[in-house]
């Protein structure tokens, strides 16, 4: 993510740019019980870059969800379990309840609707 994209307009969208960031965010998700979705992507992944603008738009459309973007290259320790990019993980009451591999705006929208 370039060009100052780390600071997002939407308050429910966070970007983890280090392992420490992502660890802190995961702790917050577990503690707050707020429903959340984490988008694990990579700057070199074409599909990740295509879905990211939609992910950011959806963060405005689903204000009850916390949205997180984590680049697997910037957070190598905390994302070593991620095998595909993009991977979307959905959390409810501090627990991971769902996972979606790959993009697809409509699929993602439906999953977000389901978990919001």
List active site positions: 45, 48
Separation in Å, CA 74 to CA 42, 46, 86 = 9, 17, 14
Residue 86: asked if its preceding bond is cis (omega within 30°), the reply is: yes
Q: Distance between CA atoms of 77 and 114, rounded to whole angstroms?
A: 30
- Number of helices and strands (H, E) in the chain? 3, 5
């Amino acid at each position: 993510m370039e060009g100052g994209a780390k600071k997002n307009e939407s308050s429910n969208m966070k970007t983890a740019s280090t392992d420490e960031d992502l660890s802190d965010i995961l702790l917050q998700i577990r503690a707050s019980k707020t429903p959340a979705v984490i988008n694990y992507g990579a700057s070199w992944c074409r599909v990740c870059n295509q879905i990211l603008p939609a992910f950011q738009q959806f963060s405005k459309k689903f204000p009850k969800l916390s949205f997180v973007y984590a680049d697997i290259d910037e957070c190598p320790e905390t994302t070593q379990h991620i095998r595909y990019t993009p991977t979307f993980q959905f959390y409810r009451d501090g627990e991971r309840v769902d996972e979606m591999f790959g993009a697809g705006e409509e699929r993602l929208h439906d999953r977000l609707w389901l978990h919001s």
